[in-house]
Amino acid sequence: MVTSTLTTLPLPVFIRGKVRDVYDLGDRLLMVASDRISAFDYVLGTPVPDKGKILTQLSAWWFGQLADITPNHLISADVSRFPSELQIYREALEGRTMLVRKTDKVMIECVVRGYLAGSGWKEYQKTQSVCGVKLPAGLKESDRLPEPIFTPATKEEGGKHDENISFERMVQIVGRPLAETLRDKSLAIYNKAARVAEERGLILCDTKFEFGQLNNQVILIDEVLTPDSSRFWEKARYQPGKSQDSFDKQYVRDYLESIHWSKQPPVPELPAEVVKNTRAKYAEAFERVTGMAFRS
Ligand SMILES: Nc1ncnc2c1ncn2[C@@H]1O[C@H](COP(=O)(O)OP(=O)(O)OP(=O)(O)O)[C@@H](O)[C@H]1O
Ligand SMILES: [Mg+2]
Protein backbone atom coordinates (compact mmCIF):
# COMPACT_ATOMS: atom_id res chain seq x y z
CA MET A 1 0.00 0.00 0.00
CA VAL A 2 1.27 3.43 -0.81
CA THR A 3 -0.17 6.74 0.35
CA SER A 4 1.46 9.97 1.37
CA THR A 5 1.02 8.97 5.02
CA LEU A 6 2.09 5.36 4.90
CA THR A 7 4.23 3.31 2.59
CA THR A 8 4.32 -0.45 2.87
CA LEU A 9 6.81 -1.31 0.17
CA PRO A 10 7.76 -4.99 -0.09
CA LEU A 11 11.23 -4.28 1.27
CA PRO A 12 12.70 -5.08 4.71
CA VAL A 13 11.77 -2.36 7.19
CA PHE A 14 14.71 -0.76 9.03
CA ILE A 15 12.56 1.44 11.23
CA ARG A 16 9.21 3.15 11.10
CA GLY A 17 9.70 6.53 12.71
CA LYS A 18 7.00 8.99 13.56
CA VAL A 19 7.50 10.72 10.23
CA ARG A 20 9.66 8.44 8.06
CA ASP A 21 9.32 4.88 6.78
CA VAL A 22 12.90 3.64 6.50
CA TYR A 23 13.74 0.54 4.45
CA ASP A 24 16.87 -1.54 4.74
CA LEU A 25 18.85 -2.03 1.53
CA GLY A 26 21.88 -3.66 3.17
CA ASP A 27 24.59 -1.02 3.47
CA ARG A 28 22.14 1.67 2.41
CA LEU A 29 18.75 2.90 3.64
CA LEU A 30 15.76 4.22 1.77
CA MET A 31 14.24 7.02 3.89
CA VAL A 32 10.71 7.90 2.79
CA ALA A 33 9.40 11.03 4.50
CA SER A 34 5.62 10.81 4.80
CA ASP A 35 3.16 13.65 5.32
CA ARG A 36 2.62 12.55 8.93
CA ILE A 37 3.04 15.28 11.50
CA SER A 38 3.95 14.65 15.11
CA ALA A 39 3.54 16.95 18.09
CA PHE A 40 4.16 16.25 21.77
CA ASP A 41 5.60 12.86 20.66
CA TYR A 42 2.39 11.65 18.99
CA VAL A 43 1.60 11.33 15.31
CA LEU A 44 -1.50 13.46 14.75
CA GLY A 45 -4.66 12.20 13.09
CA THR A 46 -4.38 14.37 9.98
CA PRO A 47 -1.51 14.54 7.49
CA VAL A 48 -0.11 17.80 6.12
CA PRO A 49 0.01 17.54 2.31
CA ASP A 50 3.53 17.81 0.80
CA LYS A 51 5.23 17.98 4.21
CA GLY A 52 7.40 14.93 3.48
CA LYS A 53 8.52 16.38 0.17
CA ILE A 54 9.35 19.72 1.72
CA LEU A 55 11.41 18.12 4.52
CA THR A 56 13.29 15.88 2.10
CA GLN A 57 14.10 18.60 -0.40
CA LEU A 58 15.11 21.08 2.27
CA SER A 59 17.41 18.55 3.96
CA ALA A 60 19.02 17.66 0.63
CA TRP A 61 19.62 21.37 -0.05
CA TRP A 62 21.25 21.86 3.36
CA PHE A 63 23.47 18.79 3.01
CA GLY A 64 24.87 20.49 -0.10
CA GLN A 65 25.40 23.81 1.70
CA LEU A 66 27.20 22.07 4.57
CA ALA A 67 29.39 19.81 2.45
CA ASP A 68 32.52 21.83 3.28
CA ILE A 69 31.90 21.39 7.02
CA THR A 70 30.82 17.78 7.41
CA PRO A 71 30.33 14.57 5.47
CA ASN A 72 26.69 13.42 5.43
CA HIS A 73 24.71 10.29 4.66
CA LEU A 74 22.98 11.44 1.48
CA ILE A 75 23.68 9.42 -1.66
CA SER A 76 20.83 10.84 -3.72
CA ALA A 77 17.37 12.39 -3.39
CA ASP A 78 16.73 11.96 -7.11
CA VAL A 79 14.65 8.83 -7.68
CA SER A 80 15.87 8.45 -11.24
CA ARG A 81 19.35 7.77 -9.79
CA PHE A 82 18.10 5.11 -7.37
CA PRO A 83 18.82 1.43 -8.10
CA SER A 84 16.81 0.12 -11.04
CA GLU A 85 14.80 -2.30 -8.87
CA LEU A 86 13.31 0.69 -7.01
CA GLN A 87 12.04 2.39 -10.16
CA ILE A 88 8.69 0.57 -9.96
CA TYR A 89 7.96 2.54 -6.74
CA ARG A 90 8.89 5.78 -8.42
CA GLU A 91 5.53 7.47 -7.98
CA ALA A 92 5.43 6.78 -4.22
CA LEU A 93 9.05 7.82 -3.67
CA GLU A 94 9.33 10.87 -5.92
CA GLY A 95 10.40 14.03 -4.10
CA ARG A 96 10.08 12.56 -0.60
CA THR A 97 12.86 9.98 -0.50
CA MET A 98 16.55 9.90 0.23
CA LEU A 99 18.89 7.05 -0.53
CA VAL A 100 21.46 7.23 2.28
CA ARG A 101 24.40 5.36 3.75
CA LYS A 102 23.36 3.18 6.70
CA THR A 103 25.28 4.14 9.84
CA ASP A 104 25.54 3.12 13.41
CA LYS A 105 23.59 6.03 14.87
CA VAL A 106 24.72 7.84 17.99
CA MET A 107 21.86 7.83 20.50
CA ILE A 108 22.20 11.51 21.33
CA GLU A 109 20.27 14.44 19.92
CA CYS A 110 22.83 17.15 19.25
CA VAL A 111 21.00 20.41 19.95
CA VAL A 112 22.54 23.84 19.40
CA ARG A 113 20.85 26.98 20.70
CA GLY A 114 21.72 30.50 19.65
CA TYR A 115 18.68 32.03 21.35
CA LEU A 116 16.64 31.32 24.45
CA ALA A 117 13.37 29.54 23.57
CA GLY A 118 11.32 26.42 24.25
CA SER A 119 12.70 24.00 26.83
CA GLY A 120 15.88 26.11 27.07
CA TRP A 121 13.91 29.16 28.22
CA LYS A 122 11.94 27.02 30.70
CA GLU A 123 15.14 25.59 32.20
CA TYR A 124 16.84 29.00 32.32
CA GLN A 125 13.99 30.49 34.35
CA LYS A 126 14.45 27.78 37.00
CA THR A 127 18.22 27.40 37.07
CA GLN A 128 19.83 30.24 35.05
CA SER A 129 21.45 27.51 32.98
CA VAL A 130 20.56 25.19 30.11
CA CYS A 131 21.79 21.57 30.15
CA GLY A 132 24.40 22.53 32.73
CA VAL A 133 25.63 25.56 30.73
CA LYS A 134 25.61 28.57 33.07
CA LEU A 135 24.20 31.71 31.42
CA PRO A 136 24.25 35.40 32.39
CA ALA A 137 21.47 36.63 34.69
CA GLY A 138 18.62 38.77 33.38
CA LEU A 139 18.12 37.19 29.96
CA LYS A 140 14.62 37.53 28.50
CA GLU A 141 12.65 34.98 26.50
CA SER A 142 13.99 34.78 22.90
CA ASP A 143 17.16 36.73 23.79
CA ARG A 144 20.26 36.01 21.78
CA LEU A 145 22.83 34.08 23.83
CA PRO A 146 26.35 35.49 24.27
CA GLU A 147 27.44 32.60 22.02
CA PRO A 148 25.71 29.48 20.67
CA ILE A 149 25.62 26.62 23.17
CA PHE A 150 25.60 22.85 22.71
CA THR A 151 22.78 21.28 24.76
CA PRO A 152 22.54 17.53 24.13
CA ALA A 153 19.53 15.32 24.81
CA THR A 154 19.14 11.58 24.96
CA LYS A 155 17.43 10.08 21.91
CA GLU A 156 14.62 7.96 23.31
CA GLU A 157 12.62 5.53 21.24
CA GLY A 158 9.15 4.01 21.60
CA GLY A 159 7.25 7.15 22.60
CA LYS A 160 9.47 8.18 25.53
CA HIS A 161 10.38 11.87 25.77
CA ASP A 162 13.93 12.91 24.94
CA GLU A 163 15.69 14.19 28.02
CA ASN A 164 18.04 17.19 28.17
CA ILE A 165 21.42 16.19 29.62
CA SER A 166 24.67 17.92 30.53
CA PHE A 167 27.78 17.60 28.39
CA GLU A 168 29.43 15.58 31.18
CA ARG A 169 26.50 13.13 31.13
CA MET A 170 26.96 12.80 27.37
CA VAL A 171 30.65 12.06 27.95
CA GLN A 172 29.62 9.19 30.27
CA ILE A 173 27.31 7.80 27.58
CA VAL A 174 29.46 8.04 24.42
CA GLY A 175 32.98 8.72 25.73
CA ARG A 176 34.91 12.00 25.72
CA PRO A 177 36.48 11.91 22.24
CA LEU A 178 33.16 11.30 20.45
CA ALA A 179 31.31 13.77 22.69
CA GLU A 180 33.84 16.49 21.85
CA THR A 181 33.74 15.71 18.14
CA LEU A 182 29.94 15.89 18.08
CA ARG A 183 29.88 19.13 20.05
CA ASP A 184 32.45 20.82 17.81
CA LYS A 185 30.79 19.63 14.61
CA SER A 186 27.34 20.68 15.82
CA LEU A 187 28.52 24.18 16.70
CA ALA A 188 30.34 24.54 13.36
CA ILE A 189 27.23 23.44 11.44
CA TYR A 190 25.00 25.78 13.45
CA ASN A 191 27.33 28.74 12.82
CA LYS A 192 27.39 28.15 9.08
CA ALA A 193 23.63 27.56 8.89
CA ALA A 194 22.88 30.64 11.00
CA ARG A 195 24.96 32.75 8.58
CA VAL A 196 23.10 31.33 5.58
CA ALA A 197 19.75 31.96 7.30
CA GLU A 198 20.75 35.50 8.21
CA GLU A 199 21.53 36.32 4.57
CA ARG A 200 17.91 35.38 3.88
CA GLY A 201 16.48 37.52 6.65
CA LEU A 202 15.97 34.60 9.03
CA ILE A 203 17.20 33.82 12.51
CA LEU A 204 18.14 30.23 13.27
CA CYS A 205 17.02 30.07 16.90
CA ASP A 206 17.94 26.47 17.61
CA THR A 207 18.27 23.15 15.85
CA LYS A 208 18.87 19.45 16.37
CA PHE A 209 21.32 17.21 14.53
CA GLU A 210 21.79 13.46 14.51
CA PHE A 211 25.08 11.75 13.71
CA GLY A 212 26.10 8.24 12.80
CA GLN A 213 29.37 6.38 12.64
CA LEU A 214 30.64 4.52 9.60
CA ASN A 215 34.17 3.20 9.05
CA ASN A 216 35.50 5.31 11.95
CA GLN A 217 34.02 8.42 10.42
CA VAL A 218 31.37 10.59 12.10
CA ILE A 219 28.74 11.70 9.59
CA LEU A 220 25.65 13.89 9.70
CA ILE A 221 22.49 11.78 9.20
CA ASP A 222 18.69 12.02 9.33
CA GLU A 223 17.04 15.31 8.34
CA VAL A 224 18.82 18.60 8.78
CA LEU A 225 17.73 22.20 9.39
CA THR A 226 14.07 21.58 8.56
CA PRO A 227 11.01 23.06 10.31
CA ASP A 228 10.65 19.70 12.13
CA SER A 229 14.14 19.92 13.60
CA SER A 230 14.71 23.68 13.93
CA ARG A 231 13.13 26.97 14.86
CA PHE A 232 13.50 29.72 12.27
CA TRP A 233 12.34 33.25 13.05
CA GLU A 234 11.68 36.23 10.82
CA LYS A 235 14.52 38.68 11.51
CA ALA A 236 12.41 41.73 10.65
CA ARG A 237 9.84 40.79 13.30
CA TYR A 238 12.26 39.65 16.00
CA GLN A 239 11.33 41.09 19.39
CA PRO A 240 12.93 39.59 22.49
CA GLY A 241 10.90 39.43 25.71
CA LYS A 242 8.20 37.15 24.28
CA SER A 243 7.83 34.02 22.17
CA GLN A 244 8.32 34.50 18.42
CA ASP A 245 6.27 33.31 15.45
CA SER A 246 8.23 30.54 13.81
CA PHE A 247 8.32 28.52 10.60
CA ASP A 248 7.71 25.24 12.37
CA LYS A 249 4.98 23.31 14.09
CA GLN A 250 4.61 25.73 16.97
CA TYR A 251 1.43 26.80 15.21
CA VAL A 252 0.09 23.22 15.48
CA ARG A 253 1.24 22.93 19.10
CA ASP A 254 -0.59 26.19 19.88
CA TYR A 255 -3.75 24.80 18.26
CA LEU A 256 -3.48 21.61 20.35
CA GLU A 257 -3.05 23.71 23.50
CA SER A 258 -6.08 25.80 22.54
CA ILE A 259 -8.32 22.71 22.42
CA HIS A 260 -6.82 21.51 25.74
CA TRP A 261 -5.78 18.12 24.34
CA SER A 262 -4.56 15.89 27.19
CA LYS A 263 -1.46 14.86 25.13
CA GLN A 264 -2.61 11.26 25.53
CA PRO A 265 -4.45 9.11 22.98
CA PRO A 266 -6.91 9.50 21.35
CA VAL A 267 -4.96 11.84 19.15
CA PRO A 268 -7.00 14.72 17.70
CA GLU A 269 -7.68 15.44 14.04
CA LEU A 270 -6.61 18.83 12.71
CA PRO A 271 -9.22 21.16 11.17
CA ALA A 272 -8.77 21.93 7.46
CA GLU A 273 -7.76 25.51 8.24
CA VAL A 274 -4.94 24.40 10.56
CA VAL A 275 -3.70 21.89 7.97
CA LYS A 276 -3.72 24.55 5.25
CA ASN A 277 -1.82 27.08 7.36
CA THR A 278 0.70 24.47 8.51
CA ARG A 279 1.41 23.40 4.93
CA ALA A 280 1.89 27.07 4.01
CA LYS A 281 4.39 27.52 6.86
CA TYR A 282 6.46 24.51 5.77
CA ALA A 283 6.42 25.64 2.13
CA GLU A 284 7.36 29.17 3.15
CA ALA A 285 10.27 27.86 5.23
CA PHE A 286 11.54 26.00 2.16
CA GLU A 287 11.16 29.03 -0.08
CA ARG A 288 12.68 31.54 2.33
CA VAL A 289 15.67 29.34 3.17
CA THR A 290 16.54 28.09 -0.32
CA GLY A 291 15.29 31.05 -2.36
CA MET A 292 13.57 28.52 -4.65
CA ALA A 293 9.86 27.94 -5.21
CA PHE A 294 8.49 24.70 -3.78
CA ARG A 295 6.84 22.54 -6.43
CA SER A 296 4.90 19.52 -5.23
N1 LIG B 1 22.01 7.25 7.95
C2 LIG B 1 21.28 6.71 8.95
N3 LIG B 1 21.67 5.57 9.55
C4 LIG B 1 20.94 5.01 10.54
N5 LIG B 1 19.77 5.52 11.02
C6 LIG B 1 19.33 6.67 10.46
C7 LIG B 1 20.05 7.34 9.41
N8 LIG B 1 19.39 8.46 9.10
C9 LIG B 1 18.30 8.51 9.89
N10 LIG B 1 18.24 7.45 10.72
C11 LIG B 1 17.16 7.13 11.67
O12 LIG B 1 15.97 6.90 10.89
C13 LIG B 1 14.80 7.35 11.62
C14 LIG B 1 14.02 8.40 10.81
O15 LIG B 1 12.65 8.38 11.13
P16 LIG B 1 11.87 9.58 11.84
O17 LIG B 1 12.52 10.89 11.59
O18 LIG B 1 10.44 9.43 11.48
O19 LIG B 1 12.10 9.17 13.35
P20 LIG B 1 11.65 9.69 14.73
O21 LIG B 1 12.94 10.13 15.30
O22 LIG B 1 10.83 8.64 15.38
O23 LIG B 1 10.72 10.89 14.62
P24 LIG B 1 11.00 12.33 15.16
O25 LIG B 1 11.88 12.94 14.12
O26 LIG B 1 9.65 12.94 15.24
O27 LIG B 1 11.74 12.20 16.47
C28 LIG B 1 15.31 7.88 12.94
O29 LIG B 1 15.26 6.87 13.91
C30 LIG B 1 16.77 8.24 12.62
O31 LIG B 1 17.58 8.25 13.76
MG1 LIG C 1 13.38 12.18 13.19
Kindly report the CA angle at 295 between 294 and 296, in degrees rounded to 5?
115
pTM for the model = 0.96
* Chain segment 35-49, per-residue pLDDT in tens: 999 999 899 999 999
pLDDT in tens, 215-255: 999 999 999 999 999 999 999 999 999 999 998 888 999 99
C-alpha distances out from residue 52 to 17, 18, 133, 188, 234, Å: 13, 12, 34, 27, 23
Distance from residue 231's CA to the centre of ligand 2 (Å): 15
Which domains, from first to last, does the chain contain? 1-102 (3.30.200.20), 105-237 (3.30.470.20)
Residue 159's pLDDT is what?
A: 64
Cα 209 to middle of ligand 2, angstroms: 9
Task: Give the residue, by CA position, lying nearest to ligand 1 atom 21.
Answer: 17
Q: For a ligand 1 pocket test, name from 13, 21, 22 the mutation site with the most ligand atoms within 8 angstroms of its C-beta.
A: 22
Q: What does the pLDDT read at residue 203?
A: 98
Q: Which residues approach ligand 1 with their CB closer than 6 A?
A: 15, 17-20, 22, 29, 38, 73, 100-103, 105, 210, 212, 221-222
Query: In the chain, which residues have pLDDT < 50?
Result: none
**Measured in angstroms, how far is the CA atom of residue 16 from the centroid of ligand 1?**
8
Task: Give the N- to C-terminal CA distance of the chain in Å, as an integer.
Answer: 21
Q: What is the pLDDT of residue 6?
A: 81
Angle made by CA atoms 223, 43, 174, in degrees to the nearest 5: 45
For residues 167 and 173, what is the distance between their CA atoms, to the nearest angstrom?
10
Question: Nearest residue CA, atom 13 of ligand 1?
Answer: 17
Q: How far is the CA of 222 from the centre of ligand 1 (A)?
A: 6
Q: Specify the pLDDT at position 162.
A: 85
pLDDT for res 156: 82
